[in-house]
Structure 1
Amino acid sequence: MRLEILTLALIVGACTWAFRFFPTKADLSGIKPDGVLARFLASTGPAAIATLFVASVLPMMKGGVPLPLGIGTASVLAVYAAARSVVMATLAGSVGYGLAVWLL
């Protein structure tokens, strides 16, 4: 492995660890609920989910959106819009994607 790749992996790993570890250990009782830090911390979860979604879906997008991916994503969005439940939306996306793969 090249030294540059190893160095980059270590830096990214350390930053990821720090980004996940320090907010759990910080005393957040003194921050304002509508302050900049509170808004930043509240937006990190959705931003991480969106990043993981794009990173995992992008390789599948060669030549258009495959049908199972479209069905799974539509299932997630529809169930979340109807029920406002992340758990139910995740399960619906998994079931929709799995059924589409199984039927094809």
Structure 2
Amino acid sequence: MSFLISLFVVLHMICWAVALGTWVAAARTRRPNPGMAHATAGALVLGIVLAALVSVGGDPNHMKLGIKLLVSLIAVVLAYVAHKKGPATPSAVWFGIPTAIILNIVVAVFV
């Protein structure tokens, strides 16, 4: 079970890295890459699977999981709105994406 959890943690972090990397790559033109929306959705799904695996294996920190779920949902919604709007994405949505991604990582490390 430990290997499976570690594998999903690695995949989860790779998805967040891809999402942030595609945002950085598109930051100059503000033309969102569809991979950003898909990577955030993949990180959300992998996070839910991880939460289920941790819940089966032990006593999870429900506050941390709830905060991460909420921030992940916000990141996914913002990424899909940016994908839908294209270069006309409002600044609040555009800069909310990396903010949500970094906040999710900060919560994962420090909470």
TM-score higher than 0.5 here? no
TM-score by length of 1: 0.31
TM-score by length of 2: 0.30
Q: Quick check: which one's helix share is greater?
A: 2
Greater relative contact order: 1 or 2 (C-alpha under 8 angstroms, separation 6 or more)?
2
